[in-house]
Amino acid sequence: MSPYNRSDNEEEYFLRHEAEKLKAQAEAHHKAMEDEERRFLKEQHYMRCPKCGMALEEIVFRDVHIDKCFSCGGIYFDDGELDLILSKEKPDSFLSRVSGIFRGGGDDGKEG
């Protein structure tokens, strides 16, 4: 055997190393595409109404900034904004009773 011939183990090592390198490159490319797509979607949908697609405007309601669509009338809350508004409400207020329905407690709509 010549000193320049590779053994099977050596060949396998280099093939595995090359395959791992190609896999890492493919994963990096995939992640870059995901990041790019995420940025693209955010640019397309940021401050857009999910119902009608028109621009959302930020308004202040009880010292909380909420998003309102003046086209269809939709009102949208970012995470925690509704809780801030409800924390300022009396327990028997309309908003508190409505939120109780969604939280599994409060008024169930039955009279009696």
Write out pLDDT tens, residues 60-82: 998 999 999 999 999 999 999 98
Residue pair 66/81 in contact by the 8 Å Cβ criterion: yes
Residue pair 51/72 in contact by the 8 Å Cβ criterion: yes
Rg (CA), the chain: 28
Write out pLDDT tens, residues 40-53: 888 888 899 999 99
Question: Which CA distances in Å does 59 have to 32, 46, 70, 93?
Answer: 35, 16, 11, 22
**pTM strictly above 0.85:** no
